Structure formats: C-alpha cells, structure tokens
A and B are shown apart, each in its own frame.
Chain A
Amino acid sequence: MARDGDESAFAEILRRYSPRVFRVASRFFRQRSLVEEAAQEVFLKVFSELGSFEGRGSLEGWLTRIATNTCLNLVRSSKRRPELIVSDLTEDESSWLENKLAATASERHHATERSLVAADLAGRVLQTMAPDDQLVLTMIDGEDASVKDVAATTGWSESKVKVQAFRARRRMREAVEKLLRRKTTTADTSVAEAGS
C-alpha cells in the first residue's frame, strides 16, 4: 500500500521502523540532532525508493541497508576526522580511562561499568576512525553481529567484512594505545613538575 502512495501506510512504516533506523544512526552519530537528521534522510530515501523494493527479502533488512549506507555516506561527506588527544578528554572520560587501565592491570576488567561517560568516550574514539571501520567495529565487536549480518547490511562481500574488521580492530587498538601512552606521559610530567 505504501508503494501506491498510501499515507497511512507510510506512517505505519515510520512508526514500526523508526526505532531500528535510530539505532543504526546512533552507531554513527553522538548527537541527537545528527541522529535525527540522518533518520529523516533515511526515510526520505525509503519513501522515494519504496517502488523499487521487490519484496524478496524483509522490509526491515532493506530499510536497514538503506539506513546504513545513508549514514555511511553522511559520515564520509562530513569534515575530516579529528585526532583525539588526551587534552581533549573530559575529566570524567579521563578518570574512566584511568580506572579501566587500573582494573585491567589488576585483572578486574570483567566488571565493566555501564556508564554514559564510557559510551561518550567510545563515540569520540570511533569518530577519529574511517566510517567503514566504525561500522564493522560497532556491529561485530559491539553488537556481536556476524560477518554475514554485516555483509547483508552493507552489501559488501564476507571477505571484505573480515578484512575490514581485522584492520579496524588494529586501528582502534592503536588509537587507544596512543591515548594511554600520552596519558602516562602527561601523568609522568605532572609528577615531575610537582616534585621540582
């Protein structure tokens, strides 16, 4: 019915699938306003391309794919990715990182506290990475999606997903390592200055 331009059918699609679209957009954007803009663009695209949906797969799968690719393109077209440095961290983020480091060192890392601070820091680290890296990491390592799921969502081959995930994991790990190294250096300098 929506394909025939039925307004109530459009409304039903919006109602049923907006949580899904918002979840996909939240993988890419940390600000509500950006998530909202992305969702609006996704639905514009969905409604204009609904005629081309052949009904072979699920509508949700088709819509998720549009949402993912729309968000990827939005991130790709935005400004250059900033490098995250220790001085950019808020006090809360800095202390989360310190606690995490201490917990990891003392083997207590399994007790992960679910905090907004960490989610925000995660978003900031991810924003320094390429959109494709962000996507595979949030889906595979964050949401436990399978390689097959990511391939279906993006239209990439499973081999590409595997290689992308492997490289993205390395880049994320290196970004965190860099952050930790700088943090240690900053702390050492502060101690040295306090002692002099």
Chain B
Amino acid sequence: MKSEHIIEIIESGPLSHIGADELARVRAHIADCVKCEEAFTAAQIAAALLKEHQLESFAPSPFFSHTCHGGPS
C-alpha cells in the first residue's frame, strides 16, 4: 500500500472530502515519496486558493439597485 502513489486519491475529488483512512495513506506515502509530497503540497495550496476565490464576489453595481428602487430602467 505504502508504495502506491497517491496522485489518484488527491485528484479524485475536493481535498476536503478525503476520508481519514485515505488521508492516513497519503501521509504514510508522502513520508517516503518526494514527488507525491510535492503534489500533495501543491494540491493543498490549490484547494486553499479555490476556497479563497469563492469568498470574493462582486456585489451588483448602483445601476442594478437604482433600477430596483424605481429609478431609471
């Protein structure tokens, strides 16, 4: 088990959905595999970036609110 690369696990779904057993398998594997450790680190950063990205959303501009309050349509 430990010798199997874990790329497929980290790409099969959002990182936050990885179960405890699989996470343990990932951690055991990356202790000895530099390539997978780099991949896992990058996947963690990518996941964090995607979470940050969804927090930033633009609100409708005044044009839309003017319209809603009976202004120019």
**Neighbour of A7 across the interface among B46, B55, B73, CB < 8 A:** B73
Mostly helix, strand, loop or mixed at chain B's interface? helix
Do B56 and A39 touch across chains, with their CB atoms under 8 A apart? Answer: no
Contact B45 A142 (CB under 8 A): no
Q: What 1/0 mask marks residues of chain A from 27 to 39 whose CB sits below 8 Å from any chain B CB?
A: 1000010011001
A164 at the interface (CB under 8 A from B): no
Question: Across the interface, which residues of B come within 8 angstroms of A165, CB to CB?
Answer: 13
Q: What separation, in Å, do the CA atoms of A105 and B37 have in the docked complex?
A: 10
A7 to chain B: which residues have CB within 8 Å? 73
Interface centre among B12, B53, B60, B61 (most CB of A within 10 A): B53
In angstroms, Cα B71 to Cα A96, docked, is 43
Q: Contacts of B53 on A, CB cut-off 8 Å?
A: 27, 119, 122-123, 126, 138, 142
CA distance A19 to B63 in the complex (A): 12
Q: Is A141 an interface residue (CB 8 A)?
A: yes
Contact A173 B14 (CB under 8 A): no
The answer, yes or no, to whether B48 is at the interface (CB within 8 Å) is yes
Q: List 10 additional contacts besides A118-B49, A173-B42; criterion CB under 8 Å.
A: A11-B67, A15-B65, A19-B59, A36-B63, A97-B45, A104-B41, A120-B56, A122-B50, A172-B50, A180-B45
Instruction: Give me the interface of B with A, judged by CB distance under 8 Å.
Output: 10-16, 38-39, 41-61, 63-65, 67-68, 70, 73
